[in-house]
A and B are shown apart, each in its own frame.
Chain A
Amino acid sequence: MIQGIPIQCFLIVSTIMFFIGICGFIIRHNLITILMSVELILNSVNINFLVFNKYLFPHQLQGHFFAMIVVAIAASEAAVAIALFINMYRKFNNIEVENINEMKY
């Protein structure tokens, strides 16, 4: 329980973050910004975990641990993704997502 702040405020913030992330994912062209958008989505989910843990089960820690796992996975995912981007840059000379459509029909 955080005094004076209702749960809706947190959820509104995390929802806004989530959709900013989705919009970024769909709209942006640069793969690095897309990766950043993915991080935003993950972090909005992290906020949700923490908030629900705090408001519903204040004496337990599951939400915290989940958030930690998500952070860890996000970090490793970023490492892999950036490695991919570097390879793509070597191959295509840019990292615009539209240009990487080799897998189409």
Chain B
Amino acid sequence: MIDYTYTVWIPLIPLFMFLILGLLGMKMKGSLAGIIGSSGLFITTVLSYITAYLYFFKTGEVDGTYQTITAFNTEWLNFTDTLRIHMGVMLDPISVMMLVVVSTVSLMIHIYSLGYMKGEKGFQRFYAFLSFFTFSMLGLVIATNIFQMYIGFELVGISSYILIGFYYEKPPAVAASKKAFIVTRFADLGFLIGILIISFYTKTFDFDKLISSDGSIFSGMNTASFMGVSAITWALLLIFMGCAGKSAMFPFHIWLPDAMEGPTPVSALIHAATMVVAGVYLVARMFIVFHFQVPGALIVVAYIGAFTSLIAAIVACTQFDIKRILAYSTLSQIGYMILALGVSGYGGEEGVGYMASMFHLFTHAMFKALLFLIAGSVIHAVHTNDLREMGNLRKYMPVTFITFVVALLAISGIPPFSGFWSKDEILAAALEHNKLIFYSSVFVAGLTAFYMSRLFFSVFFGKKPHYEHKPQESPLTMTIPLMFLAAVSIFAGFIPFSRFVTTDGKAFETTLNYMIAVPSVLIALIGIGIAYFLYFKESNVPDKISSSLGIFYKTALNKFYFDEMWLFVTKKIIFNLISNPIAWFDRHIVDGAMNGVAWVIEKSSYKIKGLQSGQLQQYAFVFISGSVILVLCFIYWLN
């Protein structure tokens, strides 16, 4: 056996980087801070790769099954005999895979930001919080128990809040960061309650016991029920609520598009590749519990994923802000992962959905980070987010152009690029378990190809707007990550994921199902073709189509009015009916009591303050008459 204790350094190095850059960063030159942060993360990445190599190829597999290894575990809090919270490192196929994903993407973003954020105010702060985010995310991924996972959820939430609000002088950024924080925090409340319910019945937080037992520890929860639904169902649905908040699933998806106010590298790291898949990861982590205890909850998961992917894809077709298009695309792809988990079975071939979800998580992290970095590169060159003000950029930015072609083909699912393989597995899993979800997913695949090509053609071809400055290719620090991620996006599809990441740890073989692959590629090509027809040359056909769609187009353009619905629920119902009365009670009764006491004291002290007149003789008079009275008392009473 290999000693994996060193893995504890994987999250700790970014933490130290955060402390160094956070405390001393202001004394450094910006570029030095960036280089320190990046080199720290480079070590983490190397350690992650070593761990992945050792785990997948050397020691992880025993008798054909990947083991769960607890590399490090230390007691952090000890309240009672049953209520103990540990901190540690757990290695199993999905956590090792996530280590690779998080550290790779994070390293690429660190390098990219050297160029992209150059000369920005608060460069050191940016790097400090990037490191902090990486630490939190890695801590989440390697969690040995559900409580450590929860802490990770909160920490990535707060670092996302800080980084979205990086330009804290811009009001939209501040509003977006608050929105993201409040929405995810609200969802995390559900997660916390779910954890508490589970640990109340099972007396443990450890994933070890929760996911690898025969389910007997949940027996108490199946009998206990609340409102006709068993306690375990409640717990899992509440935990899924936390996942939905972090992964921006319907109805908590509203924060993600707004989060694009943050710097583009942050969007790439947090809101495309890593943090938003934390929810998917948690569902995958608890998958055994979901599957064996409450299959009903999995159906909810599947439908929410499918629904989110559908509406997000439709909205993405109508938006004009390039980062928002990517954000809706992210929503849609995460919906894919969630629905794949929802339709998955357990064990061997049955678990293909689980495998496909993790596979898609991996490939999506790579090509979506790539897309965001490309968007950043484009924004860097033309200084605008608006699709309508771009066009014909392929001559100015060849590297960006070529990498975008790769990313486009990857996300559209054209073989042999990575997205094809993972999407194909998801569709296969969906076809086996739920026809409705299958057809919706195929439709979404077409939409994905359409809106990504729309973005592609509008940015790199189409009209030739007049640029104030001639757009230039981005510096090498920005294009190297693009090229690296593009290379990964091309080849990641050939990783035999079913060999490594499965529900029960046993490898199985997947075969390409032509009945699914051919139609899905065809529909993707149709999507690209329509986008080519509409957007390759400047024309007014898209406007005609959108005006003929009328109300439907308008609804999609306004994101199906989900923001307005939430505002209605919060402002009209919750604020008016619940918050305002409570606020009134607080302001008038609670504060009133305190203010009353203060008022009485103030008034009485005004009344008696004349006693301290500054007149020496008054003091003397009072003193002497007091002494006389005391003397008289002693003489006449005390005798």
Chain A residues close to B by CB (< 8 Å): 22, 25-27, 97-98, 100-105
Do A25 and B620 contact each other (CB < 8 Å), given the known contacts A98-B615, A102-B614?
yes
When distances are taken between beta carbons in the complex, the residues of chain B under 8 Å from A22 are 624
B514: interface (CB < 8 Å): no
Contact A101 B617 (CB under 8 A): no
Contact B620 A101 (CB under 8 A): no
Question: In the complex, what residue of chain B is closest to A101 when comparing beta carbons?
Answer: B614
Contact B617 A105 (CB under 8 A): no
Partner of B613, one of A25, A26, A27, A104: A104
Closest chain B CB from A51 CB (angstroms): 20
Which residues of B from 295 to 320 have beta carbons under 8 Å from A? none
B216: interface (CB < 8 Å): no
When distances are taken between beta carbons in the complex, the residues of chain A under 8 Å from B616 are 97, 100
Closest chain B CB from A91 CB (angstroms): 15
Q: How far is the CA of A27 from the CA of B613 in the complex (A)?
A: 16
When distances are taken between beta carbons in the complex, the residues of chain A under 8 Å from B612 are 104-105
Q: B351-379: contact bitstring with A at CB < 8 Å (1 yes, 0 no)?
A: 00000000000000000000000000000
B79: interface (CB < 8 Å): no
Closest chain A CB from B525 CB (angstroms): 88
Closest chain B CB from A12 CB (angstroms): 17
Do A26 and B609 contact each other (CB < 8 Å), given the known contacts A100-B616, A102-B614?
no
When distances are taken between beta carbons in the complex, the residues of chain B under 8 Å from A97 are 615-617
In this complex, the member of A25, A26, A103 whose beta carbon has the largest number of chain B beta carbons within 10 angstroms is: A26
Partner of B614, one of A25, A26, A27, A104: A104
B57: interface (CB < 8 Å): no
Question: In the complex, what residue of chain B is closest to A22 when comparing beta carbons?
Answer: B624
Contact B624 A101 (CB under 8 A): no
Q: How many A-B residue pairs have CB under 8 A?
A: 28
B636: interface (CB < 8 Å): no
Instruction: List 21 A–B pairs whose Cβ atoms lie within 8 Å, in order of A's numbering.
Output: A25-B617, A25-B620, A26-B617, A26-B620, A26-B621, A26-B624, A97-B615, A97-B616, A100-B614, A101-B613, A101-B614, A101-B615, A102-B614, A103-B614, A104-B612, A104-B614, A104-B615, A105-B609, A105-B612, A105-B613, A105-B614
For chain B, what secondary structure do more than half of its interface residues adopt (helix, strand, loop), or is it mixed? helix
Q: How far is the CA of A25 from the CA of B616 in the complex (A)?
A: 10
Closest chain A CB from B91 CB (angstroms): 72
Question: In the complex, what residue of chain A is closest to B609 when comparing beta carbons?
Answer: A105
Q: How far is the CA of A105 from the CA of B614 in the complex (A)?
A: 7
In this complex, the member of A97, A103, A105 whose beta carbon has the largest number of chain B beta carbons within 10 angstroms is: A105
Q: How far is the CA of A101 from the CA of B615 in the complex (A)?
A: 6
Closest chain B CB from A57 CB (angstroms): 25
In the A-B complex, list the 3 residue pairs whose CB atoms are closest, starting with the nearest. Answer: A104-B614, A101-B614, A105-B609
Q: How far is the CA of A56 from the CA of B212 in the complex (A)?
A: 102
Closest chain A CB from B316 CB (angstroms): 70
A26-B621, A98-B615 are known; give 13 further A-B pairs, CB within 8 A. A22-B624, A26-B617, A26-B620, A97-B615, A97-B617, A101-B613, A102-B614, A103-B614, A104-B613, A104-B614, A104-B615, A105-B612, A105-B613
Q: How far is the CA of A104 from the CA of B614 in the complex (A)?
A: 4
Closest chain B CB from A67 CB (angstroms): 23
Question: In the complex, what residue of chain A is closest to B605 when comparing beta carbons?
Answer: A105
When distances are taken between beta carbons in the complex, the residues of chain A under 8 Å from B620 are 25-26
Closest chain B CB from A16 CB (angstroms): 16
When distances are taken between beta carbons in the complex, the residues of chain B under 8 Å from A101 are 613-615
When distances are taken between beta carbons in the complex, the residues of chain B under 8 Å from A100 are 614, 616
Which residues of B from 593 to 634 have beta carbons under 8 Å from A? 609-610, 612-617, 620-621, 624
When distances are taken between beta carbons in the complex, the residues of chain B under 8 Å from A102 are 614
Q: How far is the CA of A105 from the CA of B618 in the complex (A)?
A: 14
Q: How far is the CA of A105 from the CA of B615 in the complex (A)?
A: 11
Q: How far is the CA of A41 from the CA of B219 in the complex (A)?
A: 94
Closest chain A CB from B607 CB (angstroms): 12
Question: In the complex, what residue of chain A is closest to B617 when comparing beta carbons?
Answer: A26
Closest chain B CB from A32 CB (angstroms): 14
When distances are taken between beta carbons in the complex, the residues of chain A under 8 Å from B621 are 26
When distances are taken between beta carbons in the complex, the residues of chain B under 8 Å from A105 are 609-610, 612-614
Closest chain A CB from B552 CB (angstroms): 75
Q: How far is the CA of A26 from the CA of B627 in the complex (A)?
A: 15
Q: How far is the CA of A26 from the CA of B614 in the complex (A)?
A: 14
Closest chain A CB from B635 CB (angstroms): 15
When distances are taken between beta carbons in the complex, the residues of chain B under 8 Å from A25 are 617, 620
Q: How far is the CA of A25 from the CA of B621 in the complex (A)?
A: 9
Q: How far is the CA of A101 from the CA of B613 in the complex (A)?
A: 7
Q: How far is the CA of A100 from the CA of B615 in the complex (A)?
A: 7
